Amino acid sequence: MKTLNTVPFVSVENMMRLVLELGIETCIEQIAGYIEEDFAKWQQFDKIPRVASHSREGVIELMPTSDGVDYSFKYVNGHPKNTRDGLQTVTAFGLLASVETGYPVLMTEMTLLTALRTAATSAVATRALAPKGSTTLALIGNGAQSEFQALALKKLCGISKVRLYDLDPAASQKCARNLEGSGLAITIYSSAEAAVEGAHVITTCTADKQYATILSDNMVGSGQHINAIGGDCPGKTELHKDVLLRSDIFVEFPDQTRIEGEIQQLDDDYPVKELWQVLSGEVPGRESDDALTLFDGVGFAVEDFSALRWLRDALQLTGRFVDLDMIADPDEPRDLYGMVIREVERMANERAAA
């Protein structure tokens, strides 16, 4: 069967329109379903820590994986200082390919898509680990990810109240403004301590690339659940070590999280549980009402794989893509040079006709 030489490409504009057509909360909910499906077959995936190139300014990473049928990778950067120049802290694009042929079947922007899948993953973890009946979220760090996180936990976990805190008050005001009309009750706090007191769920998503103490031990009580999702590189943490030592810790892929997550503060053999084990029923999640649970989420390639699968299916409904001519398609597969010669002849005929 002859393979077409065009690949569907989803631009930022088409991604925005697709998300608005389907609804942001619907997209997050659907992606969460794909993540749960893929985590259920976790053992089938190739898994390595992301390939990172670190610099003083930030990090550039590749995140590959495959389930033996499809292959995916994401290119993503993290440059916290970019905002000073009016640039995004994180940008990304990704690709889904057929393992059978090696041909790409989808290429897409992944800055928006990563925000959706990160929020979906937090919601999946929160639904599995948070106290039953949770209604209040403390959101510490109100940058680019914050609104997606709030909407995800509203849609999938029953959160109705959101407490905002950021070192930059303008960030909290931006988040509150963007969430107007969402059905969430929004309150801005002047300190992290005040925001987390009495919250059922705490999500930290700050951007600074440094060892930081966003949450100290005395700020966190028994019975709460923490999503620590700001860690994404060595030397960047958000929680005091004592919070980790009190918590039941759940991670995506330990080999990566020990490099980049909160648990880089702990010994390499410190016991943690994997989220896929909870979702598949192999290990328990929250074991008591008084437990302090922690999802140390750094983002893993399988989640991007899930988001790309979702997008491929969503395009069948929306058609929000353009075709890219990016695969050489000679008449005879072994005659690539002949394809170039034929193009020379075609161009000559066009000039003669003109």
Q: Which residues form the catalytic set?
A: 232
Q: How far apart are CA 120 and CA 33, in angstroms?
A: 9
Q: How far apart are CA 21 and CA 27, in angstroms?
A: 10
Burial 159-186 (b: 16+ CB within 10 A, else e): beebbbbbeeeebbebbbeebeeeebeb
Helices (H), 56-191: 111-129, 146-157, 169-178
Classify burial at 38, counting beta carbons within 10 Å of its beta carbon; exposed 0-12, middle 13-18, buried 19 or more.
Answer: buried
Classify burial at 209, counting beta carbons within 10 Å of its beta carbon; exposed 0-12, middle 13-18, buried 19 or more.
Answer: buried
Could you give the 3-state DSSP secondary structure of residue 52? strand
CA distances from 293 to 202, 212, 242, 248 (A): 10, 20, 13, 5
CA distances from 185 to 28, 68, 150, 288, 354 (A): 20, 44, 11, 28, 66
CA distances from 233 to 10, 136, 157 (A): 28, 29, 28
Of 128, 118, 144, 55, give the one whose Cα is nearest residue 298: 118
Q: In terms of residues, how long is the chain?
A: 354
Query: Which tokens go with 25?
Result: 């909360």
Q: How far apart are CA 156 and CA 126, in angstroms?
A: 9
- Is there a contact between 60 and 232 (Cβ–Cβ < 8 Å)? no
